[in-house]
Amino acid sequence: MNLRPDQLPALLDRPLAPLWLLHGNEPLLVLEAADTIRAAARRQGFEERETLVVGQGFKWDALTLAAGNMSLFGGAKLIDLRIPTGKPGRDGGEALQRYVASLPMQTLTLITLPELDWQARKTGWFKAVSEAGNSLEFNAPERERLPEWIGRRLALQKQTASADALAFIADHVEGNLLAAHQEILKLGLLHPEGALTLDQVQDAVLNVARYDIDKLRQAVVEGDPARCARLLEGLKGEGAAPPLVLWALANETRSLANLSAGRDAGQPLPALFKAERIFDPRRQQAVGRALGRLGQGTLRAALMHAARIDRMIKGLVPGDVWDEFLQLALRLAQRP
């Protein structure tokens, strides 16, 4: 059964289901959820815990043996199965399907996975595990919701902050939710309960943002020029390879150009999205909005701009590569 993360607290006050599957793109949230389930299991009498980490050379017989071995204390047992790669392989997939088809008595099984792509979600083992137990997906909050998430975390330690202060924290921890969690805890140690001022937040919060190429592509598609500039500055400061940055911008431009040409030729967007391998509904919506503000002429000019940057990187023409990246990103992020 697929559940929402906000349903988890209520489920922990009831007798626990025998099987839990946790996955998502944010390790902090998956780890916290696993911790709460393990704590609830201890309260409900699961006195022994056996941890299995699937790595190179892992023998799936270990899962069967763990389920067959009774608790040393005669009570219920927790099997903590971790698959860091999210890919159990053919043998592992078959073992998981056999396991969930006949779950052991007096045993709670907790399976944790990283973010899964659409192909992994269609596998037989993932469907079998999801249907046999409670499945929860924990993803990082979207950028526009990050200040709200930070505000809720501050509220847990009985602190509040203004919208400006929350936005400041969000800007400085973007893409690094674990760092955001640490900065929030630090504010709780440095300042008493109550309202935090912008000055207090600015003095305490470090710039721990993690800039990556995918976020730059997202900012371009969503038409956020300020974020494009900030991400490019961060990538430059972190020593990102210019060819990789160019690949991301050019690939995004080429995809938008193909979608624009297909739409103008009368092809339905769902089919075009499938051809471009765009399956995420949120990304489809963002790309659809981008197509509404970027015409074919703009996209063709952007592709020519990307080709000029490529020659610049190769030393064939003079210029400042990072300044050109900014100009290209702003061209794509422009609004009517």
pLDDT, tens digit (0-9, with 9 covering 90-100), for 131-153: 999 999 999 898 889 999 999 99
Q: What pLDDT, on a 0 to 100 scale, did the predictor assign at position 165?
A: 92
Lowest mean pLDDT of 169-178, 184-193, 314-323, name the range: 169-178
State the Cα–Cα distance between residues 98 and 85, nearest whole angstrom.
20
Q: What is the pLDDT of residues 107-130, one digit of tens each?
A: 999 999 999 988 899 999 999 999
State the Cα–Cα distance between residues 231 and 237, nearest whole angstrom.
10
**Is the pLDDT confidence value at 182 over 80?**
yes
Q: What pLDDT, on a 0 to 100 scale, did the predictor assign at position 175?
A: 73
State the Cα–Cα distance between residues 15 and 43, nearest whole angstrom.
10
Neighbours of 334 (CB within 10 A): 12
Q: What pLDDT, on a 0 to 100 scale, did the predictor assign at position 153?
A: 93
Q: Which amino acid is at 60?
A: W
Q: What pLDDT, on a 0 to 100 scale, did the predictor assign at position 241?
A: 87
> Helices (DSSP H) in 157-295: which residue ranges?
163-173, 177-190, 198-204, 213-222, 225-237, 242-264, 269-275, 281-293
State the Cα–Cα distance between residues 140 and 100, nearest whole angstrom.
28
Find all residues with CB under 8 Å of 291, minimum gap 6, and list them.
256, 259, 260, 263
Give the residue among 77, 85, 73 at the shortest CA–CA distance from 38: 77
State the Cα–Cα distance between residues 131 and 42, nearest whole angstrom.
25
Q: What number is the average pLDDT over the span 50-75? A: 81
Give the residue among 173, 253, 180, 259 at the shortest CA–CA distance from 221: 253
Q: What pLDDT, on a 0 to 100 scale, did the predictor assign at position 1?
A: 83
- For residue 334, name the pLDDT band (cuts at 50, 70, 90): confident
Angle (CA) 59 121 46, round 5°: 55
Mean pLDDT over the full length of the chain: 90
Q: Kindly compute the dihedral angle of the four CA atoms of residues 229, 230, 236, 242, in this order, to the nearest 10 degrees.
A: -50
pLDDT above 70 as % of the chain:
96
HSE, CB side, 13 Å, CA atoms: give it for residue 222: 15
Angle (CA) 116 121 126, round 5°: 105
Q: What pLDDT, on a 0 to 100 scale, did the predictor assign at position 193?
A: 93
Q: What number is the average pLDDT over the span 36-57? A: 92
Q: What pLDDT, on a 0 to 100 scale, did the predictor assign at position 105?
A: 85
- Residue showing tokens 């067959």: 68
**Is the pLDDT confidence value at 74 over 70?**
no
Query: Which pairing describes strands 134-137 and 159-161: parallel, antiparallel, or unpaired?
Result: unpaired
Q: What pLDDT, on a 0 to 100 scale, did the predictor assign at position 159?
A: 95
Lowest mean pLDDT of 58-72, 131-145, 164-178, 307-321, name the range: 58-72
pLDDT above 90 as % of the chain:
60
The dihedral built from the CA positions of residue 140, 146, 152 and 154, taken in this order, carries a sign that is positive
Q: What pLDDT, on a 0 to 100 scale, did the predictor assign at position 203?
A: 85
Q: What is the pLDDT of residues 82-96, one digit of tens each?
A: 999 999 999 999 999
**In the chain, what are the domains?**
2-137 (3.40.50.300), 143-204 (1.10.8.60), 213-333 (1.20.272.10)
State the Cα–Cα distance between residues 201 and 206, nearest whole angstrom.
9
Neighbours of 186 (CB within 10 A): 13
Q: What pLDDT, on a 0 to 100 scale, did the predictor assign at position 83?
A: 95
State the Cα–Cα distance between residues 78 and 287, nearest whole angstrom.
44
**Is the pLDDT confidence value at 258 over 80?**
yes
Q: Which amino acid is at 125?
A: W
Q: What pLDDT, on a 0 to 100 scale, did the predictor assign at position 40?
A: 95
Q: What pLDDT, on a 0 to 100 scale, did the predictor assign at position 144?
A: 87
State the Cα–Cα distance between residues 67 and 162, nearest whole angstrom.
51
Q: What is the pLDDT of residues 203-257, one digit of tens each?
A: 888 767 667 788 898 899 999 998 899 899 988 988 888 998 999 899 999 999 9
